[in-house]
Chain A
Amino acid sequence: MSRAWKMGMSLLGLAFLVWIPFSGIGGGYLQTLGFLTFLYVTLSTAWNIMGGYTGQISFGHATFYGLGAYTTSILTLRGLNPFLTIPLAGIVASLYGLLWGYPCLRLRGQYFAIATIGVGEATRLLMLNMDDLIKNNDWLKGFLHDGVLTGGATGLMLPTPPDIRSYALGFYYGAMGIMFAALLVSWKVKTSKFGLGLLAINMDIDAAETLGVRTAYYKNLALMLSALMVGICGSIYSQYVFYIDPQTVFGFPMSIAMVLMPTIGGIGTLLGPVLGAVVYVVVQDQILTANLEFGDFKLSLSSLHLLIYGGLLVVIVLFEPKGILGLQKRLARKWAKRKEDSRERDDNAARVR
């Protein structure tokens, strides 16, 4: 594929994305799907900085998502302008990343992953019970507003704006902008000295340390950057759906999604997470509302997408660890080689004649 061809296709794709809200396909359905896709692409790209470039697989990224969502919600309910809370949410998530990242990043590979599961669940429990924890403490009681800080299991509800259509439109383009910003950040990281350091850490952390890469510093920085982006996404999510609860934003399924998307798409690459996220959102959307009935025996398809992804994950780990993108590159190489071989054969045949 020549460069001009690629450029043309990308511009066409971009034009399509910009046009979607005006097309009115499905009465705004495609627009909501688009928003979700942009959000998930950003999440996927953010996780990839930690899991793909640095090689530290984290099953606890939902903590950042939830913290971003809750920071925004809590501050908005106390009168702060929601848009101001977006960077704040990112910073809070980032600092939390530093808090648990600093001790946990000493762990290698699978132990770090297990620790992140533990941190994820612990954070969810903490946020679930936060109100009950502080309401009896005279000193901390001041944080409660209307008797609620995190709202426990019932969650927090944000006030909806009067003009929902233009609001949603604004968020569509906003999320698209953030997605491109995230991709830009990811690309910048990948091509910078920082990214090279992360890659070195991924390949062989001891060798990297010996060569002078400040591994601890880089790992923590990567986690903070990843957390920042995920936190911003959480903030945006809460402002779009106006309701959050610990089970959704801090839940293990959220962390799982963030692991699955880049891993299936192509871990460690720039566009792999994009591919994985798009596939994830589209498949989930198509399956989520379906139902299958065999007479009395009813199959609930609401989790079928996770079954598919579990299977995909197994297949990918076993046969193509580089994900769909890796598979595509492998096939492209085979195709190019075949062309080369057949061209050689033609040349040889021509020479013989």
Chain B
Amino acid sequence: MHIDLPALIVSAILLAGLYATMSYGLALIYGVMKIVNLAHAGVMMWGAYLAFIFIVNLGMNPFLAPVLIVPTFFFLGILLQRYIVSRIMSAPPISSLLLLFGVWLIMQNISYLIFSGDTRAITTPYTLSTFLVGGISISVNRLVVFGVGILALVSLRQFLGHTYLGKAIRATAQDGEASKLVGINTQWVMEMAFGIGIALASLAGSLMALIFAFDPDFGRSHLLKGFCIVVLGGLESMVGVALGSLVLAIAEALSVLWIMPAMQDFVSFAILVIVLVVMPGGMLGLLQKFLKT
């Protein structure tokens, strides 16, 4: 069986960029509030549908649509946190899971109501355009998503490391009570973090709409992979998310060598379960355990 390994690796790297983009939002919210945001899938889906409306119905430039979509969802995220999620912050984590699951259900079925279950896709002049680099053809859309993933990583690192809000977010993630003691308005921080997380999800959704066909059920498998990546990457860093994305993407790409392509998702979900059971501390946690022994 002839396998074009360089092309496989390149496509895996591009996929990793996509996976990273869709996982940052999940990682941020989970890191700060220890909440698994199941509505992340719904936001990605709504981002995709909104992009569809902007690009197909209103004729907007496909790469301009996110610019409008992201701030909208930022505010929606803040509202969601302030009026709904904050009420169950003190309850056991399963309550927030059920709550956000309910929110996801609502989002999904509003989409079913308005758009019906038909699969949509966005076709733009960029959809099929590729360019050759050393004999390997790279899709423009995927390259843009990869670029956005890198850009997001860099900006997130800068933001989390060198701005007040970023550092406040990390502090609240580490120890909420201590953060309050040093004067951080943790309520505001959590609202901001949630808003940013939702905004990142909508960014991912609006870009992925250019690559994948979608229906109201869009986002579920991505959510699972995203959570797998978050657990793999550990909770502390966005770089962990990037590395986790790389690991998952390469695992998926290489798995084609042994199993059917249709079972690729199965591999990802199996990895999710294994990762949850075996390494709750992420890859770095596992590494630390090895180094200690």
Contacts and interface: CB of A to CB of B under 8 A. Distances in A.
Interface of A: 55, 57, 100, 103-104, 106-107, 109-111, 113-115, 117-119, 121-122, 125-126, 128-129, 132-133, 252, 256, 259, 263, 298-304, 306-307, 309-314, 317-318, 321
Interface stretch (B54-62, B107-115, B167-175, B196-204): B107-115
Chain B contact residues: over half helix, strand or loop, or mixed? Answer: helix
A298 B280 CA distance: 47
Contacts of B94: 55, 57, 109-110, 113
Contacts of A121: 220-221, 224, 265, 269
B163 interface: no
Given A115-B273, A121-B269, A313-B98, A299 B221 contact: no
A118 B224 contact: yes
A119 B269 CA distance: 7
Contact of A113 (B91, B97, B109, B221): B97
Contact of B262 (A132, A301, A307): A132
A342 to B, nearest CB: 34
Contacts, number: 135
A246 to B, nearest CB: 12
B interface bracket (residues with beta carbon within 8 Å of A): 35 or more
9 closest Cβ contacts across the A-B interface? A310-B105, A313-B102, A307-B109, A310-B106, A303-B112, A122-B269, A314-B102, A118-B272, A125-B266
Contacts of A310: 102-106, 108-109
Contact of B93 (A109, A117, A301): A109
Contacts of B106: 307, 310-311, 314
Chain A contact residues: over half helix, strand or loop, or mixed? Answer: helix
B103 A314 contact: yes
Interface in B73-98: 84, 87-88, 91-98
A114 B276 CA distance: 9
B138 to A, nearest CB: 29
Contact of B227 (A114, A256, A314): A114
A318 B276 CA distance: 28
B257 interface: no
